[in-house]
Structure 1
Amino acid sequence: MEIEIATIGGYEEVGRQMTAVRAGDDIVIFDMGLNLSKVLIHDNLRTEGMHSLDLIDMGAIPDDRVMSDLEGDVQAIVPSHGHLDHIGAISKLAHRYDAPVVATPFTCELVREEIEDEQKFGFDNDIVEMEAGGTMSIGDHGCELEFVNVTHSIVQAINPVLHTPEGAIVYGLDKRMDHTPVIGDPIDMERFREIGREGNGVLCYIEDCTNANKKGRTPSESVAREHLRDVLYSMEEYDGGIIASTFSSHIARVKSIIEFAREIGRQPILLGRSMEQYSGTAKQVGIDFPSDVEMVGYRQSIDQTLERIMNDGKGNFLPVVTGHQGEPRALLTRMARGETPYDLEDGDKVVFSARIIPEPTNEGQRYQAEKLLGMQGARVYDDVHVSGHLRQEGHYEMLDALQPQHIIPAHQDLSGFSGYVDLCESEGYQMGRDLHVTRNGNIIQLV
């Protein structure tokens, strides 16, 4: 059986992931993501009403025209998890393919919400829910799709595996080795080891290289939870304002902030549209999340809530807000610019329970937001966080588990691939033979 892999998006940047695997006449697409930094750099740009070709020209979504060079039919579109750099282009591109979107329940619900906001294209694709550990047939030639549970900075993340007669294709974006997660099950390393040793083994492993230049291993989310507990408990006697910001999609982290806010005697309130969206979706699909926390999503209601906080006393509340990357329209940035009813004063605490996404636009915006917060007297607590991506020791462990015949680095630019290339070469792989560093728009023939 011929096996080809089209590296469509996410092979020259962190963002707009999209990869297609052709096994004979059957094609499976993994991820259809958005490069958010290409959108945020424009003031007040709304993608919902934009045409896909305009977004492709901007570099915001994958240029999927290379799909016309793959001879076969798309059988499934499979997002690995619910981050926008993996699902943000589904509403713009999926309608071109007569195939269902197959994902875990939380990811499916986020995809539905993206589709509801879409103003340009109709969407008739089926949305099929499949749990981690589930399988489904692909085409009529013996291929099967499997979801292997992994741990990441969003709940219900999986690594999809396409089993073919020539061996398994393991799509390894995005994960960390977490054996003590705050929500959900640990990473299923036992299943990865089985896949590496059954049948024809792993034909190809496509791997996320976000932290491949960093030594050691990525800590568990339980480590971030204890760090967060230590930081917030240190503020227990402070009677001024405390604000926290984290990834809205990081349900486990938001849950920890809510719990510790209550333990130090403050009422947590989730503020911001995406904060309301992700946490509301988590409750909707039955994820273990506080059911009684207040969520406010729209600007007018947010400002009214901030007025109430000021009237009742900042010391009684802990707002959990959007804007940890310094996004210009996000709530924390508006607070830093003095554009909300919330008055920042000398000594007020701002906890960033998130790292800066390593991309120049984000780094510049976050720098500006922190400077504005400091000018109002706020004290910044930075990087109360652990990454959702493997460092080098995790990569060694995955290679040992899977023992792939071929490797394709992904989820970085060429400089970001360098650490992973060195790591693979130390394990006996060779550039151009079985280690394929590639770019967007290329097709690699494996069989």
Structure 2
Amino acid sequence: MPAAGFPLGATTMEVEIATIGGYEAVGRQMTAVRAGDDVVIFDMGLNLSKVLIHDNVETERMHSLDLIDMGAIPDDRVMSDLEGDVKAIVPTHGHLDHIGAISKLAHRYDAPIVATPFTIELVKQQIKSEEKFGVQNDLVKMDAGETMSIGERNELEFVNVTHSIIDAINPVLHTPEGSVVYGLDKRMDHSPVIGDPIDMKRFREIGREGEGVLCYIEDCTNAGKKGRTPSESVARRHLKDVMDSVADYDGGIVATTFSSHIARVKSLVEFADDIGRQPVLLGRSMEKYSGTAERLDFVDFPEDLGMYGHRKSVDRTFKRIMNEGKENFLPIVTGHQGEPRAMLTRMGRGETPYELDDGDKVLFSARVIPEPTNEGQRYQSEKLLGMQGARIYDDIHVSGHLREEGHYEMIDALQPKNIIPAHQSLEGFAPYVDLAENMGYKAGRDLHITRNGNMIKLTE
């Protein structure tokens, strides 16, 4: 494989990592790795909560410098300190905290955007909606299991992982000094609802071939939770149990989940049919993600499944549901985090033709993202729904992130020489640091706790 294929006696190469975004809080992920003269950027994300606390902010019309000052996108000015040429921009998956800044920053770099097909499609849509900058970077599709050359001596590989969005990968940059494994975001799912299981076999091989793993950069979101993260198939069974329990209810049932979580939407659509209700997808992002997944043949929805994103067509659909009987439909809507302009929030405020009655069920097949803005908005949304008589079914969900035993397995598989915790605040890093130190790593030596804007030199 790539790392083993370099000529013996090759001169040593400097490997340096710039931790640009996502090292002080969850959101706006961005990391750059320099191997010799070649630089690869992993992720260019948005911190949505920094946008949501302002009323009616339209990021499409804003300048990147204003968004940097808001803390909404990474401050990539540290890139000027990296002595090399950017050869690729590599988003790991299609969540906004990983691709949401591409339309604002990618044009600064003369490099292709390389990602899996579903992620590329979502990047295309981001670029298309951008009103301030023209993003002309080439878009290159690469599947899990494939590689591409980065300069003359490095190679990029995509390893399949499972997450709460389809077509996610962990990219690996193979260098003569060993591999740099960028581990954001994943869980170990051996029985996913859509797609292939996580490729642990390949991770173990990477840990033992050539010079091994020089550095592992890891998402620490759930590092403080014991045990392992359950499979999406567990969430599917939980959801089926809940929907079976309300099957005989003759009023309104509404469901909400992450619109990007195609596997969960698929389960909701199937189970709606099982209990004799017609599913309908409502909300701009619901239409965007599910429509894209269907168009690329990742999912096979029923031919008559309605998807409506535009406000007028959504309200027309709500009127039809009220006329034909709420008991015949399952609206699957945006708004699981209480986002102010999302469908469920509007329903809670009584701003749609859909009328909630005492006893109507609202199924949250999602957890609130543990961040003050989200928590406040979700609390408000649930209270408004409750005031209209809705009964809340919460937490029908499994996380997309590794818990403690998953982190242990990954470190054991890769045997990295260096570890960099990412995707969290300092407080969020603490459980991961404890785990790594218990496995023989030491903060300040080979366990690098860093901040946004820092540089870490791994080899001289």
Match of 1:365 in 2: 377
Match of 1:260 in 2: 271
- The question of 1:219 aligning with 2:197 is answered no
> How many angstroms does 1:285 deviate by?
1.1
Map of 1:320-399 to 2, 5 A cutoff? 320-399=332-411
Aligned equivalents of 1:334, 1:418: Cα separation in 2: 38
Q: Secondary structure at the match of 2:40?
A: strand
Match of 1:421 in 2: 433
Which runs of 5 or more residues in structure 1 are unaligned? none
Match of 2:255 in 1: 244
From 38, 55, 62, the counterpart of 2:50: 38
> How many angstroms does 1:291 deviate by?
4.4
Aligned equivalents of 1:54, 1:126: Cα separation in 2: 26
**1:292-330 Cα shifts (integer Å, max 9, x gaps):** 211000111101100000000000000000000000111
Runs of 4+ in 1 over 4 A off after TM superposition: none
**1:61-97 Cα shifts (integer Å, max 9, x gaps):** 0000000000000000000000000000000000000
- The question of 1:206 aligning with 2:233 is answered no
Aligned equivalents of 1:343, 1:124: Cα separation in 2: 46
Aligned equivalents of 1:271, 1:411: Cα separation in 2: 30
**Is residue 78–residue 101 contact of structure 1 (8 Å, CA) maintained in 2?**
yes
Aligned equivalents of 1:239, 1:117: Cα separation in 2: 41
Aligned equivalents of 2:109, 2:370: Cα separation in 1: 33
Aligned equivalents of 2:331, 2:359: Cα separation in 1: 16
Aligned equivalents of 1:82, 1:289: Cα separation in 2: 20
**Is residue 7–residue 441 contact of structure 1 (8 Å, CA) maintained in 2?**
yes
**1:14-49 Cα shifts (integer Å, max 9, x gaps):** 000000000000000000000000011111111001
Q: Secondary structure at the match of 2:382?
A: helix
Counterpart AA for 1:251: I
Aligned equivalents of 1:39, 1:289: Cα separation in 2: 34
> How many angstroms does 1:288 deviate by?
2.2
Map of 1:12-411 to 2, 5 A cutoff? 12-140=24-152, 142-292=153-303, 293-411=305-423
Q: Secondary structure at the match of 1:270?
A: strand
What's the C-alpha RMSD, in Å, of the aligned pairs? 0.5
Counterpart AA for 1:232: M
How many residues are aligned here? Answer: 446
Aligned equivalents of 2:136, 2:71: Cα separation in 1: 25
**Is residue 283–residue 291 contact of structure 1 (8 Å, CA) maintained in 2?**
no
**1:197-245 Cα shifts (integer Å, max 9, x gaps):** 0000000000000000111100000000000000001111101000000
Aligned equivalents of 1:289, 1:125: Cα separation in 2: 31
Counterpart AA for 1:19: T
Q: Secondary structure at the match of 2:347?
A: helix
The share of aligned pairs that are identical, in percent, is 78
Q: Secondary structure at the match of 2:18?
A: strand
**Is residue 161–residue 168 contact of structure 1 (8 Å, CA) maintained in 2?**
yes
Aligned equivalents of 1:425, 1:67: Cα separation in 2: 30
Q: Secondary structure at the match of 2:332?
A: strand
Aligned equivalents of 1:322, 1:381: Cα separation in 2: 16
Which runs of 5 or more residues in structure 2 are unaligned? 1-12
Q: Secondary structure at the match of 1:446?
A: strand
> How many angstroms does 1:441 deviate by?
0.2
> How many angstroms does 1:379 deviate by?
0.2
**Is residue 202–residue 405 contact of structure 1 (8 Å, CA) maintained in 2?**
yes
Aligned equivalents of 1:289, 1:16: Cα separation in 2: 32
> How many angstroms does 1:289 deviate by?
2.9
**1:326-376 Cα shifts (integer Å, max 9, x gaps):** 001111000001011000000000000000001000000000000111100
Counterpart AA for 1:245: T
Aligned equivalents of 1:336, 1:166: Cα separation in 2: 56
Q: Secondary structure at the match of 2:249?
A: coil
Aligned equivalents of 1:156, 1:421: Cα separation in 2: 29
Aligned equivalents of 2:37, 2:59: Cα separation in 1: 33
Aligned equivalents of 2:299, 2:104: Cα separation in 1: 32
Name the TM-score, length of structure 2 as normaliser.
0.97
Aligned equivalents of 1:199, 1:139: Cα separation in 2: 19
Counterpart AA for 1:33: G
**Is residue 149–residue 187 contact of structure 1 (8 Å, CA) maintained in 2?**
yes
Aligned equivalents of 1:291, 1:113: Cα separation in 2: 24
Match of 2:7 in 1: none
Counterpart AA for 2:433: V
Q: Secondary structure at the match of 2:400?
A: coil
Aligned equivalents of 1:194, 1:241: Cα separation in 2: 51
Counterpart AA for 2:262: I
Counterpart AA for 2:220: C
Name the TM-score, length of structure 1 as normaliser.
0.99
